[in-house]
Homo-oligomer: A and B are copies of this chain.
Amino acid sequence: MQQDDRRLAVLRAIVQDYVSTSEPVGSKTLVERHRLGVSPATVRNDMAALEDEGYIHQPHTSAGRVPTDKGYRLFVDRLTTVKPMSSAERRAISSFLDGAVDLDDVVQRSVRVLSQLTHQVAVVQYPTLARSTVRHIELVSLTDTRLLVVLILSTGRVEQRVVEVADDFDDEALADLRTQLNQVAQGGVIAEAARLLKELAEEADPAGAGATSAVVDALTEAMVDHRSDERIAVGGTANLARYGDSFTTAVGPLLEALEEHVVLLKLMGEASAGGALTVRIGAEGPYEELSSTSVIATGYGPRDEALATLGVVGPTRMDYPGTMGAVRAVARYVSKILDES
C-alpha cells in the first residue's frame, strides 16, 4: 500500500503544480519540484496508472498531465485540508467587515473581501427571509386611497408595498388595523405569521374585498416574494480578465450566469442545506457551459442557522485549499456579525 500512497502523493503534486503554473506537468519537473524520493520513470508508471483510473489526462500525446474533474475531486476530498487563514488575512477580514453599518453593507463588504482574498468572483446571497421573524408592521396612509405597508423583519430587512384601499378608511381604522396586525404577527417566524394573518383577514373580512384582505395580501406577498428572497451580490468580476486564454469559451457564459441570479442560486444552492463547505467541480454542476468552472460555497447565518449562501466561482484550475479556507473564514466572520446584531 506504500505504492498507493505514493500515487496519491503524485496526484497531489500534479494538482498543486498545475494550479500554480497552469501548464501540463511532466514527470521530470515533478520530481524536481517535489521531494518524492523516486525517479521520473517511477512517476511515469504511477501517472499511467492514474490516467487509467481517470484522475488525470493528457491534452495530447507526449505532453504533461492535467487533472480531470475526478482528479480534483479526489484531491479535495482526500488529499488536502482546508487551509486556515494567516493572521494577516484574518485581520484583513475583520477590519474590512467591522466597519459595516447595516445588513446591505455587510453583504457588500463580504463580497469585496472574499473576491480580494481568493482572486476569484465572489457571490453572497442576502440572508433569506425564511427563518426571520416579524419585528413590526407599519401602516402609513399616503393618499386617501393608497396605503404604504411596511414590514420590518428580525434580520433588519425592511420590505414595503403600496396597496389601494377604499376611501372610507379613516385614521382610526388604520391605527386599529395596525394594532391587530402586530398583535397577530409580531415575533412569529414569517411562515407562521403569514398563516395567522390570513386567518385574521378571513375572520375580519370574509368577502375578501376589504382593506384588511388587501393589506394582508400585500404582507404575505412581501414575505414570500422570491425577488427579495433571492437577492445576490456579485463582486470581483475583474478577476475574470486573468483567464487570458479559453476566454470566449468560458467567460462569456460565466458572465451571463452571474447576471442570472436564479442560475447562480441554483449553482450555490446545495451549499445552504447542511451549512457545510461545498465544492462543486466542473461538469458536476448542472450547466453544460460552466463545465470548466468550480463553485465553492457554504451556508452562513447567526447561531449556525444557514440563512443564506456565500462563496466563489472560479476555474476548475483553482487553489482549492486556500479558497476553501477563505470562504469558510468569511462565512464564520459574517455569521458572527449577524449573531451580534
> Which residues of A are at the interface with B, using a C-beta cutoff of 8 A?
105, 135-136, 138, 140, 142, 148, 150, 152, 156, 158, 160, 162, 227, 235-238, 240-242, 244, 247-248, 251-253, 255-256, 258-259
Contacts and interface: CB of A to CB of B under 8 A. Distances in A.
B158 A150 contact: yes
Contact of A136 (B148, B158, B235, B244): B148
Given A140-B138, A150-B158, A152-B140, A252 B259 contact: no
Copies of this chain held together in the complex: 2
Nearest to A105: B227
A235 B140 CA distance: 34
13 contacts: A105-B227, A136-B140, A138-B138, A138-B150, A148-B152, A156-B162, A236-B259, A237-B237, A237-B258, A241-B251, A241-B252, A241-B255, A247-B247
List the 5 closest pairs (A to B, CB-CB), nearest first.
A241-B252, A238-B255, A238-B256, A237-B255, A136-B140
Contact of A238 (B148, B162, B259): B259
B247 A235 contact: no
Contacts of A138: 138, 140, 150
A252 to B, nearest CB: 3
Contacts of A238: 252-253, 255-256, 259
Contact of A259 (B156, B162, B237, B251): B237
A247 B242 CA distance: 10
A247 B241 contact: yes
- The residue among A150, A162, A227, A241 with the most chain B CB atoms within 10 A of its own CB is A241
A240 B255 CA distance: 9
A259 B241 contact: no
Contact of A135 (B142, B247, B248, B258): B142
Contacts of A142: 135-136
A179 to B, nearest CB: 12
A261 to B, nearest CB: 10
Contact of A241 (B150, B160, B244, B248): B248
Nearest to A101: B227
Contacts of A152: 140, 148, 160
A289 B135 CA distance: 48
Contacts of A242: 248, 252
A162 B255 CA distance: 36
A267 B150 CA distance: 36
A154 B213 CA distance: 26
A106 to B, nearest CB: 13
A197 to B, nearest CB: 18
Contacts of A244: 248
Contact of A160 (B148, B158, B251, B253): B158
Contacts of A256: 238
